[in-house]
Structure 1
């Protein structure tokens, strides 16, 4: 039976050459994405900024509705044209992907996931032809990371997001037509509702070596299906468990902007994975500010199952 480790774990991203958390405070954060600087809302940055000079190319100013809304403000017309209408290429390890100012306040990927990408790669060590599943795969940087180890099934309900994911694969020299998992890029790009897809995979008798699961708080499927994390997550986790077995390596579950505890996510996994070996861990994702005494800014909660001691 998988053991639940009650003490929480902190996964901290340290930044890299194309991404850096420069400063944070007073409910905002200043970040560098390549050569461009942006300011975004961050309610958990309750402390004071360390720097007074927050020059940036763009800032996302939220609307009055706590559930979303807002718009980007740019330093000048040139910055607006470069960042709102165009994309620019960033890198992580040997991968390349596009960044762009989106209406959802982020830049098309989540930099706090970098430690998770490394962790997944470690879990699949020794498997030359791993089969992994990325549900709610968004623009596919996680799928690119998983693709080093074998075939990936990338599922997202947004046609636009899947198109962006395929463009990112092309930037990394890993593009295929996606139909039959062609070499050299073994991926299926699927526009589908994550819950319905997982249920069909269970009926097909499929299994995977690893699953990454990044559900939104609220969303809609390609045919108008309504997703609410509190309602849909238990059944989805149960189906994901049925797609894993004693030889599988991991499941990683993240949740952003929700009124949940990581221990609640861990409890859900502990129940679902009772018949498998390994351990259940939970905790927070975070990013460390630049500098020798950089503060740690929390960003999301997670729970994960690992088939190990």
Structure 2
């Protein structure tokens, strides 16, 4: 069964509206307009309402690069927000980057709940969690706050530094930071015989490792999944694979996982979306996830 999942209880984030290749979002007290290639329909709210509500708009020279236009020049380029669920609470530093991002992908809150919930149910003491393509560390922070021994891997030093700032802001410590090509790291861990109770993968469509390694989702994800399965603790584990690529469906994710792990238990597949207050649903990636608990 294919599921459709969206965050439902995040007070510091709101998708207000989306359409005409843009989205209107509230992060804390800041309301932004950003490009959104998936929003091919018309806006639900009138343009005048968008103009009245927003504080900052991203004006792109292309789909990804551009500049931020502030209504009021005094507005800060950086600010903080919080995320809470029944198990943990974490904080993020957000910032206006030149690539339209602000430091989090809000739809991932659904996966964060899955991570903390599974860690809390584990019977394994001090479970080990590996977060690959880990960006600014939302999943890493959640795992650590829930009680896991957490390793965070990303190929870009600047975002690992950003993730470390989020760790300090959240009042937690001792996440293991690795500036590393994810595929190389996994292969090395397999050779070492390492295992993890939780593994999170949120790979980009395209990417580069710190030494010029090339990542292309459709070319490399099958190899990655087969290697990652070897790292799962056989007795108790969870895995999340999330992709944001216009060419990928949840059925592709299902085939990848079942091919690499024929005995998989409790497999869920589906699509993540953000529910706009004004009505539309904004699709933002497909996922596959599964878990196994000790009997």
TM-score (norm 2): 0.90
Deviation for aligned residue 1:15: 5.3
Match of 1:182 in 2: none
| Separation of aligned partners in 1, 2:149 and 2:233 | 17
Q: Which of 233, 238, 248 is 2:221 aligned to? A: 233
Q: Which of 132, 136, 141 is 1:135 aligned to? A: 132
Deviates more, 1:299-308 or 1:109-118: 299-308
- Does residue 286 of the first structure (1) align with residue 273 of the second (2)? yes
| Separation of aligned partners in 2, 1:110 and 1:196 | 25
CA RMSD across the alignment: 1.8
Contact 1:217 1:258 in 2 (8 A): no
Contact 2:258 2:264 in 1 (8 A): no
Match of 1:108 in 2: 103
CA deviation map 1:113-139 (0-9, x unaligned)? 111101112222333411000001111
Match of 1:204 in 2: 192
Unaligned 5+ segments in structure 1 are: 1-6, 176-184
Alignment of 1:245-264 (within 5 A): 245-264=233-252
CA deviation map 1:51-81 (0-9, x unaligned)? 22113121123334x5x433322223223xx
**Aligned pairs, how many?**
283
| Separation of aligned partners in 2, 1:73 and 1:48 | 23
Match of 1:300 in 2: 285
Contact 2:115 2:139 in 1 (8 A): no
Deviation for aligned residue 1:265: 1.5
SS across alignment from 1:223: coil
Aligned CA distance change for structure 1 residues 235 and 277 (closer, same or farther; 3 Å): closer
Aligned CA distance change for structure 1 residues 115 and 254 (closer, same or farther; 3 Å): same
SS across alignment from 1:149: coil
Aligned CA distance change for structure 1 residues 199 and 226 (closer, same or farther; 3 Å): same
Aligned CA distance change for structure 1 residues 234 and 35 (closer, same or farther; 3 Å): same
| Separation of aligned partners in 2, 1:46 and 1:258 | 13
| Separation of aligned partners in 1, 2:100 and 2:165 | 21
Contact 1:139 1:164 in 2 (8 A): yes
Contact 1:278 1:306 in 2 (8 A): yes
